Amino acid sequence: MTENAVAQFAIYMLTLLTLAKPLGWYMACIYQNQPIGVNRWLTSVENFIYRLSRINPNEEMRWTDYAIAVLAFNLLGILSVFTLQRLQSILPFNPQQLPDVNPDLAFNTAISFATNTNWQAYSGELTMSYLTQMLGLTVQNFLSAATGMAVLAAFSRGFTRRNSNTLGNFWVDLTRSILYILLPLSLLWSLALVGQGVVQTFNPYQTIPLTEKLELTQPKLDANGQTWKDEGGNTVMETLEVREQTLALGPAASQIAIKQLGTNGGGFFNVNSAHPFENPTPLSNFLEMLAILLIPAALCHTFGTMVGDTRQGWAILAAMSLVFVTLVAVTVNAEQIGNPQLSALGVDQAASSFQSGGNMEGKEVRFGIANSSLWAVATTAASNGSVNAMLDSFTPIGGMVPMWLMQLGEVIFGGVGSGLYGMLVFAIIAVFVAGLMIGRTPEYLGKKIEAYEMKMAAIVILIPPLLVLGGTAVAVLADAGKLAVFNPEAHGFSEILYAFSSAGNNNGSAFGGLSANSAFYNILLGLSMLCSRYWLIVPVLAIAGSLAEKKIVPFGHGTLPTHTPLFVLLLITTVLLVGALTFVPALALGPVVEHLIMLGLT
Amino acid sequence: MKKQLISAGLMLLVWTVITGVAYPFAVTGLAKLLFPVQANGSLITGNQGEPLGSALIGQAFSDPKYFWGRPSATSPYSYNAGASSGSNLGPTNPALMESVKARIEALRVADPDNRLPIPVDLITSSASGLDPHISLAAAFYQTNRVAKARKMPIHTLHALIKANTEPRQWFILGEPRVNVLRLNMALDGKTR
């Protein structure tokens, strides 16, 4: 790792951890309804929203009511995005006159954005009208993130309440998440990004003359769009002169801000944050990377504050940060070493003050190795899924790290809300394992962990691997699954495994070579995303409901303290062990084999 | 259940208006006010105010008298800014080796007596297919060819490269880089 890379990582981590405390405290105030400056000012807006929606904000919900509200709201969200895509050709704000999206792609995309996955089987600038991007996709960016945060708030109340059968009000948690947290931050971020050069306009695409004209040879088409054949049956080619460049524009900044802050990740343009209009400078890159982990990191402190012991939040954040930093080092190292097969051709991949060197296929010069690698790890640690470099072209080890981070269940920071409630489920498993070792009933934060909680926790931990490995198995057996592969051999397997790891953990990043826009993948991955989001939210709320009903057990001699370095280590071990035992065999078939091939060892 | 559905529907409607209409319009309005150039694609304009290109989007160059940008994987032609795309070629894909070899060959043919090692960014496709930059090493590698084609002294080219180099932001963020379009426009005397 170069000195500059180390310096950039240090600044990143420092900024992130410094901001986690004030933001975390602020969010705790919001969820506990404690008055602070901003929310006094916005309270009238908040109450107006409740009046419009005929909601009584003081009504408390049992866990089942809370879950039904989450599901009903998300179901309507899915239907809304689906309908917008199916009707976009007759709706306004479609200056490029894009046609309706076909049904299986619309199904996949609607689920993808409602589940905070933002898997994209389409190319933004060629498929979605401005209206669909705004009313459908941008809206779901906010709502899916807020859903995750609301569920976390409810989960936290499971620990703070005693002898209670309610967890708060979903509509209130949702409204507060957007109004006081996501919306102000997004406004701030989008303006900062526009200042750096991210586009934000409703104008149609801009045409400019090229400095040097291009020649393009392509098959000649007849009036029906069919290729012409000569008498011998050969395709007739024609040479066209390209004199102009069309710049795709749009209201991008407003969507990018929330795509990063809400760990959504769905790009405005096809290549996501690698596009110069989506991420033009190193500073915009820094801001976007910061936004990926900002809320997930800060929520740890929110949780600590809400349960009345901030050390608990810091312990969780420490566990996440340790795994994160280690894996960043692995990826940046693999990418900096580069591709030995290129060195053999006399290509210079060494880092110097004149170039970043390393594996530059699928990377942008302004980001180089350091920022491309850091982004890849951050985006998959969080369930963000946006990219600023093409992961499919990463070295085998460099690409394995993002894949494994998703497979760990998106708990190293993870999605906003969902990452932390996932990690807390792992914490419950960790105290259970520790309890078995010393032969005592496990407790976490003063609540006894019993059979019911463990059953629900097991579901939360087991569903994603089932979706990932099951889906991969189906796809590698089906012709429709294998046909979509772009790169040959081991890397082709990695493309499929990556797609299901991404969908089965609601991440949304991809090895982009896979032609995922087919009915087979759209439906299979769509169902995967659906299951991994809602089959986790329901048992998580069930745990919270059960915990809230219990009384608080005082801290005793047999209680395992959960804020110590020992517990941090235990938690990390639990996460890594589950992740390793489940996925090492599959990873061995993909990235590991490819690594050996690349080194010429097979 | 019915009550929940009604609340869900009304909530969705309210938030669609706020986050889907009010928010993007507010950002667009503010962007127009505060950063009109950036919000519309950071266009480089000529003397009459006509757009000549975007400072953020690369263009394809293959004439020896121009500096070349990075290989672009957009289709149907390079640097198609209406359809961004990377190559997605994996590190062990034979097709990657083929394209790298072809690019090395093109560079060698255009400049046969150049025996410098070829900087990696000059033979690998960018992530967006629209990368406006090359590394300093890639710019220096090409000075010999451009100097011969334009019959210009090398030191003039070095000065132009320096003038069109963007350093690390705030001395630390990102990588130092050369904007290819700006450099070539400066060569043609279109811009200062």
Query: Which of A486, A482, A481 minimizes the C-alpha distance to A520?
Result: A481
Minimal C-alpha gap between B142 and chain A (Å): 14
Q: Which residue has the higher pLDDT, A385 or A440?
A: A385
Rounded to an integer, the average pLDDT of A393-400 is 97
Type of residue found at A312: Q
B41 touches chain A (CB under 8 A): yes
First to last CA, chain B: 68
- The pLDDT assigned to A38 comes to 66
User: Token pair for residue A308?
Assistant: 């009345």
Question: What is the pLDDT of chain A when averaged over all its residues?
Answer: 93
Chain B: residue nearest A142 by CA?
Answer: B19
Rounded to an integer, the average pLDDT of B137-159 is 95
Q: How confident is the model at residue B192 (pLDDT cuts 50, 70, 90)?
A: very low
Rounded to an integer, the average pLDDT of A569-581 is 94
> Which of A44-48, A96-100, A331-335 is most confident?
A331-335
Query: Which of A364, A292, A106, A207 minimizes the C-alpha distance to B43?
Result: A207
DSSP output for chain B: -HHHHHHHHHHHHHHIIIIIIIHHHHHHHHHHHH-HHHHTT-EEE-TTS-EEEETTS-----STTS--------SSSTT-TTS-------TT-HHHHHHHHHHHHHHHHHSTT--SPEEGGGTS--SSS---EE-HHHHHHHHHHHHHHHT--HHHHHHHHHHTEE--BTTTBS--EEEHHHHHHHHTTS--
Alpha-helical segments (H) within A307-442: 310-337, 340-343, 368-381, 396-407, 418-438
Query: Which of A286, A285, A287, A295 minimizes the C-alpha distance to A263?
Result: A295
How far apart (Å, rounded) are the C-alpha atoms in residues A268 and A252?
A: 6
**pLDDT tens, residue by residue, A493-532:** 999 999 999 999 999 999 999 999 999 999 999 999 999 9
CA A483 to chain centroid, in Å, comes to 26
How far apart (Å, rounded) are the C-alpha atoms in residues A129 and A84?
A: 10
State the DSSP H helix or E strand holding residue A348, giving kind and residue range, or none if neither. strand A347-348
Among A112-121, A211-220, A352-361, A540-549, name the one with the lowest average pLDDT: A211-220
**For strand B118-119 and strand B51-54, is the pairing parallel, antiparallel, or unpaired?**
unpaired
**pLDDT tens, residue by residue, A164-190:** 999 999 999 999 999 999 999 999 999
Strand order in the sheet with B133-134: B133-134, B177-179, B165-166
Query: Which of A529, A542, A531 minimizes the C-alpha distance to A264?
Result: A529
State the DSSP H helix or E strand holding residue A528, giving kind and residue range, or none if neither. helix A519-549
User: What is the SS3 assignment for A448?
Assistant: strand
User: What is the SS3 assignment for A112?
Assistant: helix
CB A108 within 8 A of CB A262: no
CB-nearest partner of B31 from A200, A338, A387? A200
Among A374-383, B1-10, B170-179, name the one with the lowest average pLDDT: B1-10
- The pLDDT assigned to A347 comes to 94
User: Token pair for residue B171?
Assistant: 């001395």
| B-contacting residues in A 467-506 (Cβ below 8 Å) | 486-491, 494
- The pLDDT assigned to A267 comes to 86
Whether cis (ω within 30° of 0) applies to the bond prior to A561 is no
Query: Which of A511, A354, A359 minimizes the C-alpha distance to B124?
Result: A359
**pLDDT tens, residue by residue, B47-67:** 888 889 999 999 999 999 999
How far apart (Å, rounded) are the C-alpha atoms in residues A417 and B178?
A: 41
User: Token pair for residue A567?
Assistant: 């517990």
Flag if B174 and A135 touch (Cβ within 8 Å): no
User: Token pair for residue A460?
Assistant: 């939360």
Query: Cα separations (Å) of B33 from A201, A205, A377?
Result: 12, 20, 36
CB B42 within 8 A of CB B114: no
A271 touches chain B (CB under 8 A): yes
Minimal C-alpha gap between B177 and chain A (Å): 6
Rounded to two decimals, the ipTM of the complex is 0.96
User: Token pair for residue A419?
Assistant: 């990452």
Cβ neighbours of residue A137 closer than 8 Å, sequence gap 6 or more: A81, A109, A113, A128, A255, A266
Longest dimension (CA), chain A: 91
CA A306 to chain centroid, in Å, comes to 25
Q: Running DSSP on this structure, what letter comes out for residue A590?
A: I
Is the pLDDT assigned to residue A236 strictly greater than 90?
A: no
How far apart (Å, rounded) are the C-alpha atoms in residues A425 and A423?
A: 5
How far apart (Å, rounded) are the C-alpha atoms in residues A551 and A447?
A: 7
User: Token pair for residue A173?
Assistant: 């948690």
Q: Which residue has the higher pLDDT, A596 or B2?
A: A596
Is the pLDDT assigned to residue A243 strictly greater than 80?
A: yes
Backbone angles phi, psi at A201, to 5 degrees: -160, 155
Q: To probe the interface with B, which of A211, A239, A397, A496 has the most B CB atoms within 10 Å?
A: A211
How far apart (Å, rounded) are the C-alpha atoms in residues A598 and A510?
A: 21
A356 touches chain B (CB under 8 A): yes
Q: Which residue has the higher pLDDT, B173 or A93?
A: B173
CB A503 within 8 A of CB A496: no
Flag if A365 and B78 touch (Cβ within 8 Å): no
**pLDDT tens, residue by residue, B109-124:** 999 999 899 999 999 9
Rounded to an integer, the average pLDDT of A450-463 is 95
DSSP output for A198-258: --B--S--EEEEEEEEEEEEEE-B-TTSPBPB-TTSPBPEEEEEEEEEEEP--B-HHHHHH
CB A329 within 8 A of CB A369: no
CB-nearest partner of A210 from B59, B90, B130? B59
| B-contacting residues in A 96-155 (Cβ below 8 Å) | 123, 125-126, 134-136, 138-139, 141-143
**Beta pairing partners, B43:** B54
Is the pLDDT assigned to residue B191 strictly greater than 70?
A: no
How far apart (Å, rounded) are the C-alpha atoms in residues A568 and A312?
A: 10
CB B82 within 8 A of CB A246: yes
- The pLDDT assigned to B115 comes to 87
- The pLDDT assigned to A230 comes to 77
How far apart (Å, rounded) are the C-alpha atoms in residues A335 and A519?
A: 34
CB A513 within 8 A of CB A487: yes
Is the pLDDT assigned to residue A57 strictly greater than 50?
A: yes
CB contacts, 8 Å: B123 with chain A = 342, 347
A364 touches chain B (CB under 8 A): yes
B117 touches chain A (CB under 8 A): yes
- The pLDDT assigned to A67 comes to 97
CA A521 to chain centroid, in Å, comes to 19
The count of C-alpha atoms lying within 13 angstroms of the C-alpha of A241, restricted to the half-sphere facing its C-beta, is: 6
Computed from CA positions of residues A382, B11, A193, A126, in that sequence, does the dihedral angle turn out positive or negative? positive
User: Token pair for residue B147?
Assistant: 């100097």
First to last CA, chain A: 28
CB-nearest partner of A245 from B62, B63, B81? B81
User: What is the SS3 assignment for A355?
Assistant: strand
CB B125 within 8 A of CB A362: yes
Query: Which of B148, B185, B178 minimizes the C-alpha distance to B163?
Result: B178
CB A173 within 8 A of CB A31: yes
How far apart (Å, rounded) are the C-alpha atoms in residues A478 and A519?
A: 13
CA A54 to chain centroid, in Å, comes to 32
CB contacts, 8 Å: B125 with chain A = 361-362
Type of residue found at B6: I
How far apart (Å, rounded) are the C-alpha atoms in residues A85 and A390?
A: 27
CB-nearest partner of A361 from B27, B96, B185? B96
CB A100 within 8 A of CB A86: yes
Is the pLDDT assigned to residue A39 strictly greater than 70?
A: no
Chain A: residue nearest B80 by CA?
Answer: A245
Give me the percent of chain A exceeding a pLDDT of 90: 84
How far apart (Å, rounded) are the C-alpha atoms in residues B142 and B111?
A: 8
Find the Cα–Cα–Cα–Cα dihedral A433, A439, A440, A444, rounded to 10°. Answer: -10
